[in-house]
């Protein structure tokens, strides 16, 4: 993937960089699966490849109860793979963040309501909620936001890992995740997303995030969850 997808995109000559259709075919050859929308509108893709990949495309890897029995999710290893529901992020966390940042009364597109960032939600909602709670993973005071939530409508085995920037607005995150859920016919209260802001313990975050630290924090989770959603906001 590095050699065939990323490196060509960094060519110093813009004209030599691959077009999106070339990248799509390269990604497919490496095992990627196109969305239902792209599949339905594509006349130049091997239908056999898409058909054989269709089941894997819709399956949540962590939903395999044979490998992940119910009691696994109460263990420290299981809790590391829990995600927060799209319903909670959009319908509960976002309004709470607006209130906490005094943006709830805004009504225009340029108002603060549309500028509450992920890191603002962490500072004003996540950390105050979690600072004094006991962490079920290490037994110390201070927990991850996901560990402070209860109920299957809010927390469960991660369906996907979200890749995004902390400077993105929470509104963009909510709209993107809600649209992804709707596009794939998923119940927002039963699709859970692993977000570093909500699922890593902000009380234990290191000041300097080295490549090794990042690799240990994200690599095993990417592999275990098996699906990553790259969010590219304006």
Q: Based on the fold, state whether residues 33 and 74 are members of the same structural domain.
A: no
Residue carrying structure tokens 């290191």: 206
Q: Based on the fold, state whether residues 44 and 86 are members of the same structural domain.
A: no
Alpha helices in the chain (DSSP H): 7-9, 20-29, 36-40, 47-58, 76-79, 86-88, 94-100, 118-121, 127-130, 170-183, 196-199, 211-225
Q: Is the pLDDT of residue 162 over 60?
A: yes
Could you tell me if residue 168 is inside a domain? yes
Contacts with 71 (C-beta within 8 Å, 6 or more apart), sequence order: none
Q: What is the pLDDT of residue 217?
A: 86
Could you tell me if residue 11 is inside a domain? yes
Q: Is the pLDDT of residue 159 over 50?
A: yes
The angle formed by the CA atoms of residues 177, 168 and 25, to the nearest 5 degrees, is 60
Residue-range definition of the domain harbouring residue 85: 70-230
Number of domains comprising the chain: 2
Q: Based on the fold, state whether residues 162 and 213 are members of the same structural domain.
A: yes
Q: Based on the fold, state whether residues 53 and 118 are members of the same structural domain.
A: no
Could you tell me if residue 19 is inside a domain? yes
Q: Predicted confidence band at 75 (pLDDT cuts at 50, 70, 90)?
A: very high
Highest mean pLDDT among 9-23, 40-54, 70-84, 209-223: 70-84
Q: What is the pLDDT of residue 53?
A: 32
Q: What is the pLDDT of residue 205?
A: 81
Q: Based on the fold, state whether residues 143 and 33 are members of the same structural domain.
A: no
Q: Is the pLDDT of residue 45 over 50?
A: no
Q: Based on the fold, state whether residues 89 and 195 are members of the same structural domain.
A: yes
**Model confidence over 107-158: pLDDT tens digits?**
444 455 568 999 999 999 999 999 999 999 989 999 999 999 999 999 999 9
Q: Is the pLDDT of residue 39 over 50?
A: no
pTM: 0.73
Q: Based on the fold, state whether residues 53 and 106 are members of the same structural domain.
A: no
Q: Based on the fold, state whether residues 96 and 74 are members of the same structural domain.
A: yes
Could you tell me if residue 63 is inside a domain? no
């Amino acid at each position: 993937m590095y050699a065939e997808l990323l490196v060509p995109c960094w060519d110093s000559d813009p004209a030599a960089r691959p077009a999106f259709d070339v990248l799509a075919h390269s990604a497919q050859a490496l095992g990627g699966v196109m969305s239902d929308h792209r599949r339905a509108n594509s006349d130049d893709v091997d239908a056999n490849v898409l058909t054989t990949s269709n089941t894997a495309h819709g399956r949540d890897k962590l939903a395999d109860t044979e490998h992940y029995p119910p009691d696994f999710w109460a263990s420290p290893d299981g809790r590391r793979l829990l995600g927060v529901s799209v319903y909670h992020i959009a319908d509960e966390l976002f309004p709470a963040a607006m209130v906490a940042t005094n943006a709830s009364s805004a009504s225009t597109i340029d108002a603060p309501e549309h500028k509450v960032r992920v890191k603002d939600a962490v500072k004003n909602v996540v950390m105050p909620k979690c600072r004094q709670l006991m962490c079920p993973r290490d037994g110390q005071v201070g927990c991850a936001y996901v560990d402070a939530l209860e109920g299957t409508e809010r927390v469960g085995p991660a369906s996907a890992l979200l890749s995004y920037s902390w400077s993105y607005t929470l509104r963009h995150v909510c709209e993107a995740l809600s649209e992804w859920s709707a596009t794939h016919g998923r119940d927002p209260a039963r699709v859970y997303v692993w977000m570093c802001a909500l699922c890593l313990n902000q009380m234990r975050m290191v000041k300097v995030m080295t490549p090794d630290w990042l690799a240990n924090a994200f690599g095993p989770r990417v592999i275990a969850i098996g699906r990553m959603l790259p969010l590219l906001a304006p």
